[in-house]
Amino acid sequence: MRDAYHDELDAISASLVEMTNLVGSAMSRATTALLDADLQLAESVIAADTTVDELYRQVEERAFDLMARQQPVASDLRTLVTSLRMVADLERMGDNAVHVAKVARRRYPSSAVPPALRSTVLKMGHVAEEIVAKAGSVIAGRDLSLAAELEKDDDVMDDLHRRLFGTILDDAWADGVEAAIDITLCGRYYERFADHAVSVARRVVYLVTGERAV
């Protein structure tokens, strides 16, 4: 019985890692769709979110079932409660990728990103991919040193976010209100994506140490 119980705990962890892979791929493809005005790619990101949502549901059900049947205490209970919080963060990361894809779809056949901001948005996409890949490794290996790196990656994302706003608010901005709104929204989606990844890493720190990251 205990072996089966711990197999269930391992399965929850594996599902969380799988979700990091899915949402990372989603944001990567959403970024490409945004920059290249690729409608088909945008639609694929939106459609694939059902897989993320289904994994979210499965992890929740498995965790609640284990709590009801096994009445875990101490570290096992902390694992289940923390997993429920991490899966919620990952589901929201998937939603943020979908939001980016929807901006791309809304502006098709044009790109929603003006030329002056293409390099910044591309960089935000790359940082998002790196940060969620690290989050997956943190979950899989409970790697506290890697978890600390995500805080620095998030600082990079915040700097890029501020750069977007600086460009939009500059007197030289000539791409209009519609583009400014699109970029403002997308900047927020990338920022929140990174924030949720950092939240996942902090929850792993709590899981391992029992202490909440500041």
Which residue type does 118 have? R
**Which of 123, 103, 102 has its CA nearest to residue 181?**
103
In this structure, are residues 124 and 30 in contact, taking their beta carbons and an 8 Å threshold?
no
What is the per-residue pLDDT for 120? 97
Omega of the bond leading into 114 within 30 degrees of 0 (cis): no
The domains found in the chain, sorted by start residue, are 2-209 (1.20.58.220)
Provide DSSP, 7-46.
Answer: HHHHHHHHHHHHHHHHHHHHHHHHHHHHHHT-HHHHHHHH
What is the per-residue pLDDT for 72? 84
User: What residue ranges of the chain have pLDDT lower than 50?
Assistant: none
User: pLDDT digits over 30-52, tens only?
Assistant: 999 999 999 999 999 999 999 99
> The whole model's pTM is what?
0.95
Tokens 């089966």 sit at which residue?
A: 4
What per-residue string of b and e applies to 14-24 under the rule 16 or more CB within 10 Å gives b?
ebbbbbbebbb
